[in-house]
Amino acid sequence: MSNDHDHANVAKTSRPSSAWRAYIPAILSFVLLLGGIAIDQLAPKFFLPEWKRFVWYALAYVPVGLPVLVKAVKAIAKGDVFSEFFLMSLATTGAFFIQEYPEGVAVMLFYAVGELFQDAAVDRAKRNIQALLDVRPDTALVMRDGVTVETPAAEVKVGDTIRIRVGDRVPLDGTLLSDKASFDTAALTGESVPRTLAMDATVLAGMIATDKVVDIRVAKPFGESSLARILDLVQNAAKSKSPTELFIRRFARIYTPIVVALAIGIVLVPMLIVDPYVFNTWLYRALIFLVISCPCALVISIPLGYFGGIGAASRKGILLKGGNYLDVLTKVNTIVMDKTGTLTEGVFAVQEVKPGVGFTSDQVLGVVKAMEAHSTHPIAQAVMKHPQGAAVGEATAVEEISGHGMRGTVQAKVVLVGNAKLLRKFKVTYPPEVDGIEDTIVVCAIGGVYAGYLTVADRIKADAKETIATLNAQGIRDIVMLSGDKTSITQRVAATIGVTKAFGDLLPEDKVTRMHAVKNDPTAVVAFVGDGINDAPVLALSDVGIAMGGMGSDAAIETADVVLQNDKPSAIAEAIRIGKATKRVVTQNIVLAFGVKAIVLVLGAGGLATLWEAVFADVGVALLAILNASRMR
């Protein structure tokens, strides 16, 4: 069947109101074919003289056969002699030559119906992806002097403020100006649960405001939004062919001329060795051979299988930059992961508050929050976001001591907030166990007396431990974690989630060195998963690079081969599962096509199969393969 569907744009769809018209020629041909067969059986004298029978079946043939004959001529004019159109034209005109009119019409009719079903399957796969992703509004409500002005999204400038009403999609990437709001992120992440974002959080094009009207300051032009990048990735994914697809294409180019040569041999060779030799008998067998050998099922169902895999992954927020990466994912046996932002949230949060003797948790938190309100450090922000405790008044005379922390006055008492070095600097005595704490720590002294400490750490993602267990169950033999964080913290996170190999205190160049060490094993097929700018070199080194796309850096996303929009580690295992499912469907189609064709080819060459069996071996198997490919979810 036709193989030029790959080059169609993903956005191409058929109008439902006119789609049925494509079936009119096939319906007309089918009615005439049935009528002709009925007359042959019930009133054969109607077809006398014989030319009436020829004209009847020729009229049945033309609606479905003429377009194929025209395509065959055009293909030959372009130098593509041995196309599927040529095979079908040769087989059916040959059938007319030996007066097997019904079979000639039937072969072309079922071929045409197969083409229509194939087109429908491909268009449906493309529409599924397009409906999932093409959600960019063409206009935006831009705030001008306190009034909203509807403006083409492509004309909105960085820095403009746009208003999003409840139920509206965000047209451009930006920063949330409203206090807090919930957004449906399903189009980007595949997640059905709305995500609540706070002021200054990043809002991405394609999200839907769900609870209230919000204002957003535009951060990127329309063409550079995250959604624009996703659409570009998916629309171009089909252009990167898998090794299996490329092999089938090369195979078909060599295979088809061989088939034609063998068909000619089936007609001519028996002339030398068979007595009596009946030309029409051997021509009929050659025609069966031609119809059976048409590589339709392979040429369309294999690309469709990969397209289905790309679509299934997209629905789950996994974006592949080509079908070839589905193949690579099935072979991955080693996964190297970044820690921060990949297996952990990449967001600091207060883990524990430990007051000193004579103090309470609320006292320590209240004083620390009063001081940290004067800092923009990520740790200070983590403390301020902690739900417990409230700042006790306003800190005054706040002085920042580089590398140590801050000194100030709260409620008329001198307060120290920082690390243990700060307390030592001001000769404040504190328990010795404070120096042995591995987490990031914020210690506090009030009025020259040690008041306690709180620990701040990056949270492990909820599905990180489950992901490692799933990957091990999928047959991944080595999982390695790399981090620029302290080795002690890296090792503890690794032990918590079940990773056996972990390395900390790594600079970007150290990660590259570690990746080279992993790839020194010639049997290792390596996937690297990361999210930061410093991960880009390692992503490029891996056999397949996987980036956290929700909040990952542009450099990592551009370098990666697979992008996980929901930032969940569990999507890694899901991507591998989809890759293996796609490979399984494609393999089933190859075995089905070759198996059935081989059996019917032998039967046809021996005179035990008719053109009707040949039709099934070609069009029937193609339809079964297309249906199998359409199972991808």
Domain containing residue 477: CATH number: 3.40.50.1000
Strand partners, 418: 405, 443
**Is 572 part of any domain?**
no
Look up residue 156 and give its DSSP letter.
Answer: P
- Place 363 in a pLDDT band, splitting at 50, 70 and 90: very high
Residue 402's Cβ-count burial label (10 Å; 0-12, 13-18, 19+) is exposed
pLDDT score for 605: 67
- Note the residue count of the chain: 633
Per-residue pLDDT of 71-118, as tens digits, reads 889 988 888 777 778 877 887 887 788 787 887 888 788 778 767 776
- Place 49 in a pLDDT band, splitting at 50, 70 and 90: confident
Instruction: Judge if the upstream peptide bond of residue 152 is cis by omega within 30 degrees of 0.
Output: no
As a whole number of angstroms, the distance between CA 539 and CA 450 comes to 46
Most confident listed range (5-9, 62-66, 507-511): 62-66
pLDDT of residue 218 exceeding 90: yes
Domain match, 203 and 119 both: no
As a whole number of angstroms, the distance between CA 89 and CA 32 comes to 19
pLDDT of residue 210 exceeding 80: yes
Q: In the annotation, is 145 catalytic?
A: no
CATH code where residue 362 lies: 3.40.1110.10
CATH code where residue 146 lies: 2.70.150.10
Domain match, 360 and 481 both: no
- Place 122 in a pLDDT band, splitting at 50, 70 and 90: low
- Place 366 in a pLDDT band, splitting at 50, 70 and 90: very high
Most confident listed range (379-383, 495-499, 559-563, 623-627): 495-499
CA torsion angle for 593, 595, 598, 602 (degrees, to 10)? Answer: -130
Q: What is the mean pLDDT of the chain?
A: 81
As a whole number of angstroms, the distance between CA 624 and CA 394 comes to 74
Domain span at residue 506 reads 319-338+461-565
**Is 35 part of any domain?**
yes
**Is 575 part of any domain?**
no
**Where a domain ends, among 430, 460, 490?**
460
In this structure, what token pair is assigned to residue 309? 């895999």
pLDDT score for 187: 61
**Where a domain ends, among 223, 252, 271?**
223
In this structure, of 414-418, 567-571, 601-605, the range with the lowest mean pLDDT score is 601-605
Look up residue 468 and give its DSSP letter.
Answer: H
What residues contact residue 206 under an 8 Å CB cut-off, 6+ apart?
133, 135, 136, 169, 170, 185, 187, 188, 226, 227, 230
As a whole number of angstroms, the distance between CA 220 and CA 238 comes to 27
Domain match, 334 and 355 both: no
Domain match, 334 and 356 both: no
pLDDT score for 428: 93
Please state the φ and ψ torsions of residue 9, each to the nearest 5 degrees: -70, 145
pLDDT score for 5: 39
Domain match, 500 and 537 both: yes
- Place 630 in a pLDDT band, splitting at 50, 70 and 90: confident
Rg (CA), the chain: 34
As a whole number of angstroms, the distance between CA 156 and CA 173 comes to 11
Domain match, 115 and 251 both: yes
**Is 228 part of any domain?**
no
Say what the pTM is. Answer: 0.64
**Where a domain ends, among 188, 223, 258?**
223
Domain match, 108 and 11 both: yes
**Is 571 part of any domain?**
no
As a whole number of angstroms, the distance between CA 38 and CA 26 comes to 18
Per-residue pLDDT of 256-267, as tens digits, reads 788 788 888 888
**Is 300 part of any domain?**
yes
Per-residue pLDDT of 597-610, as tens digits, reads 788 777 876 777 77
In this structure, of 281-285, 444-448, 533-537, the range with the lowest mean pLDDT score is 533-537
Look up residue 458 and give its DSSP letter.
Answer: E
Cα distances from 415 to residues 142, 357, 362, 390, 453, in angstroms, run 47, 16, 15, 16, 13
- Place 12 in a pLDDT band, splitting at 50, 70 and 90: very low
Q: Report the share of the chain in percent with pLDDT over 90.
A: 29
In this structure, what token pair is assigned to residue 231? 């659409």
In this structure, what token pair is assigned to residue 504? 């900390």
In this structure, of 137-141, 345-349, 355-359, 440-444, the range with the lowest mean pLDDT score is 345-349
In this structure, what token pair is assigned to residue 592? 């089905």
pLDDT score for 136: 61
In this structure, what token pair is assigned to residue 307? 């397209």
**Is 156 part of any domain?**
yes
CB atoms within 10 A of CB 138: 9
Domain count along the chain = 4
Domain match, 354 and 404 both: yes
pLDDT of residue 165 exceeding 50: yes
Domain match, 372 and 414 both: yes
In this structure, what token pair is assigned to residue 10? 């993903």
pLDDT score for 240: 52
**Is 195 part of any domain?**
yes
What residues contact residue 422 under an 8 Å CB cut-off, 6+ apart?
401, 404, 405, 407, 416, 443
Domain match, 294 and 393 both: no
- Place 66 in a pLDDT band, splitting at 50, 70 and 90: very high
pLDDT score for 121: 60
Domain match, 408 and 469 both: no
Domain match, 62 and 31 both: yes
DSSP output for 224-268: GSHHHHHHHHHHHHTTS--HHHHHHHHHHHHHHHHHHHHHHHHHH
Point out the catalytic residue in the list 173, 184, 338, 485.
Answer: 338
What residues contact residue 564 under an 8 Å CB cut-off, 6+ apart?
317, 318, 319, 546, 547, 548, 549, 550, 571, 572, 575
Task: Judge contact between 589 and 305, C-beta under 8 A.
Answer: yes
